[in-house]
Structure 1
């Protein structure tokens, strides 16, 4: 049964985001919505929720359809409420008076601890705030559920909870999900919409299979376009030959045939459509200046502690050598960021037990991108930190996806994707031989994640990284350290850890 019909839908907000989108949403559909940053995913969800009127086309809903959506960010008006009260407040007053038990049920299903349920939302992490938004949407008993980046801010354990919760929803409930987490999309979707400025594509497959189908479709379109242009070219060659013969012989018939061939060539060229070319959100490029050192980082049985001195785990004897891409695995609160901080402090000259090679040139980025000063501009960041002229600086910023218009705007005004790409640019300009990366894929779209993977691998860059993105850590890492209890263990594969997290 069809729940929604999207017909020739188009949105222009300053510039065209997408056009001529046709889609049906039926019972049982779990649709992954995929596009680069800033290409209209959130805008499309707003149209589906009837919060935004389209520029062209229309969305038709089955009579009585109730739509609920989860936005990327918690509204400021909710911050002073407790999670429990905010979820309850979405119900009409008469229901809230007698059916508050529904809040208990949904928060229990999402495994929200009781003490978190009764804390102000402003005191909770982004991950728990996202759980509150999920609960508030679900308690309205919607016919369609729209989820905008539901995996943002979730650690691997809560990501598993969300995945299991979605898989446990009624099978007939349609869900539309935007996400940059490839493994998550593979697990929870059965259709994939690649949203494009034009020629959007929908496939009845989860992300990985749909991506392969999309590549095959684009390649076929590229071949068809090339063949059409070649056919028109050959027709014009024939027309030119016939024209010369017709003129020399004075044959009106040949001249008529010449015009017919030229007309056919014109029609073929007019009908030929070039294959889709994505407009990238900005390049991600890294490098590796190299070193002759055998070990870049040495951990000689270091005790990692909480800020107040409570022991967490011992590292044992560990080394990071050139070419090692070490992924640090561990549940939230086990001390991943503490180890990264110890190493970064040492590299910045602090007195820590971490040893490092004199030739090391580090590039460090934390999950909050704190190396980007919010009140500075991209232009001032680049020119103050590196010996670049203005013209060169503007060129590298534009290549990283920071438009000329945004280069003299405060960093705080950039989108999450632009900030992430700017941070990667700042790392590259250091010409490093060692990367220390805490959640580097935060805010990066799938294109950006894959570009970052490719750069780290292609340059054989040494790095120590933390990531909750399963596809990224699997594809990038060639060594894995697991904080398991009070020890830091090296393991051959991340799969035992990922399985343990999924099981809770």
Structure 2
């Protein structure tokens, strides 16, 4: 039986990520690894994969255990390999001579179409690359499997497919899964580890139950914090009085007692430093508002694939101010093409037949590849280009979304995808739109960020058309739901997203 044992494992980068982490994982356990962006999830997975060493502590595996680690992205120099060659490269030379058939088995297990076997990875969607990366590692027959953000770029059908595979596979192979997708964690993990700079928290239940228990612990700790802060303050006040009396009376005993009280106060304050306060960058949006009741309309619109093939049609739909429309569809039905078509219509009036937008509309657009960010520029220079932003405000804005000073002057291409997502959302806020067009806005955004983005979209009351495979996000922000019926090739409004989610789960 394969297992992992962690004893007093710590990680310190520029700041402490986690410390004195103790954990045991064995067969039948799939652990959801939860933390904000940049708080140590990938660092811990790399420790477990043997790619780097912890600052302190020990990691032990059951004898002979092989660890499989699926990273977040394919290496750039591998993108020109064919799918088949990429997966086969996990085999030894001897295995490729006699066991090449295992590549077909691994690809079939993740339902990769045979037509893609000899396509270069570069031509495939991010979702297919993710599944192919998992197939490649699974081919090595690991005894323990580590998955870093496995749902990034996956559509809902593939997320559900992966959930089912993890639930089935983790019975024999222990897994640790880092993810920001709350529904995914609930559906395929049975343990939860919240990484924290002070004391990390481990629960033997899935994410939502663990989150509720964690919030209760934090609330109790907050009460203790307030009580002990008050006690430390009182001790210091008493010490000051005793010290003054001791000096005035010449009593060494009173001065010694004052010193003892100060020491007790310091001990209490030192212990309070380990109480956790989540630190993450703010995500805020803007809505300049509009007097128009109708923001845009569709009438006899046809949405096509890049090659010109018809994907679906829209007979007639009106988008009213304040509508938050979530578009539901299977992969390949045309969600992204719809977003791009609406974007083109607002960029150039009359460029897309059948789409009309009110002249007072100010569009905020973000695609799922975050392509609006100039990767060779620095965050500082990018934000300074926005109207009304000077040097001091620029530094403050970037600090508020979690960018330390040194990251503000590094090229955007060197930032993590989570940091890029926050930068893109900051840029949208500075435009002050009244209509948001968002294609997978939660890709790479951590759970605190997703929850802040949900709250901002709802509270600011901006009109929006949103594509998202995050079920909790879609439920939270949507006021109307449009579904692309792939078989009938048409867009229809539905009362709720739940029937679609239910169909995708079977």
- TM-score normalised over the length of structure 1: 0.92
Q: 1:358 to 1:12 in 2, by over 3 A?
A: same
CA distance in 2, matches of 1:30, 1:66: 17
Between 482-491 and 13-22, report the one with greater CA deviation: 13-22
For each residue in 1:296-328, what CA deviation from the matched residue of structure 2 results, as whole angstroms up to 9, or x when unmatched? 111123222334443322212211112211001
- Alpha-carbon shift at residue 252 of structure 1 (Å): 10
CA distance in 2, matches of 1:373, 1:260: 59
**Is residue 363 of structure 1 aligned with residue 397 of structure 2?**
no
Match of 1:294? 293
CA distance in 2, matches of 1:210, 1:4: 21
For each residue in 1:379-419, what CA deviation from the matched residue of structure 2 results, as whole angstroms up to 9, or x when unmatched? 33222231322222222222223333233333222221121
Match of 1:413? 414
Match of 2:389? 388
For each residue in 1:44-76, what CA deviation from the matched residue of structure 2 results, as whole angstroms up to 9, or x when unmatched? 111111121112111112211111111111134
SS in 2 for 1:397: helix
**Is residue 137 of structure 1 aligned with residue 140 of structure 2?**
no
Match of 1:331? 330
Q: 1:238 to 1:395 in 2, by over 3 A?
A: closer
**Is residue 501 of structure 1 aligned with residue 504 of structure 2?**
yes
CA distance in 1, matches of 2:220, 2:247: 40
CA distance in 2, matches of 1:275, 1:131: 39
CA distance in 2, matches of 1:59, 1:163: 27
- Alpha-carbon shift at residue 239 of structure 1 (Å): 6.7
Q: How does 1:200-219 map to 2 (within 5 A)?
A: 200-219=200-219
**Is residue 186 of structure 1 aligned with residue 189 of structure 2?**
no
Between 196-205 and 407-416, report the one with greater CA deviation: 407-416
Q: 1:408 to 1:330 in 2, by over 3 A?
A: same
How many residues are paired up? 502
Match of 1:430? 431
Q: Is the 8 A contact 1:34 1:180 kept in 2?
A: yes
Match of 2:380? 379
User: Aligned-pair RMSD on alpha carbons?
Assistant: 2.6
**Is residue 486 of structure 1 aligned with residue 489 of structure 2?**
yes
Match of 1:344? 343
- Alpha-carbon shift at residue 287 of structure 1 (Å): 1.5
Between 454-463 and 300-309, report the one with greater CA deviation: 300-309
SS in 1 for 2:17: strand
SS in 2 for 1:359: coil
CA distance in 2, matches of 1:244, 1:407: 49
CA distance in 2, matches of 1:245, 1:37: 52
Give the unaligned 5+ runs of structure 2.
none
Match of 2:283? 284
Q: How does 1:9-408 map to 2 (within 5 A)?
A: 9-169=9-169, 171-234=171-234, 264-265=264-265, 267-273=267-273, 275-280=275-280, 282-351=281-350, 352=352, 353-408=354-409
- Alpha-carbon shift at residue 178 of structure 1 (Å): 0.6
CA distance in 1, matches of 2:242, 2:386: 66
CA distance in 2, matches of 1:250, 1:392: 55
Between 128-137 and 171-180, report the one with greater CA deviation: 128-137
Q: 1:240 to 1:31 in 2, by over 3 A?
A: same
For each residue in 1:146-193, what CA deviation from the matched residue of structure 2 results, as whole angstroms up to 9, or x when unmatched? 011111121112112211111221514210011111111111111111
SS in 1 for 2:385: helix
Match of 1:439? 440
- Alpha-carbon shift at residue 442 of structure 1 (Å): 1.3
Give the unaligned 5+ runs of structure 1.
none
Q: 1:228 to 1:85 in 2, by over 3 A?
A: same
Between 160-169 and 81-90, report the one with greater CA deviation: 81-90
SS in 2 for 1:317: strand
Q: 1:474 to 1:373 in 2, by over 3 A?
A: same
Q: Is the 8 A contact 1:362 1:433 kept in 2?
A: yes
CA distance in 2, matches of 1:268, 1:306: 64
Between 235-244 and 400-409, report the one with greater CA deviation: 235-244
Between 235-244 and 451-460, report the one with greater CA deviation: 235-244
- Alpha-carbon shift at residue 244 of structure 1 (Å): 9.1
Q: Is the 8 A contact 2:110 2:132 kept in 1?
A: no
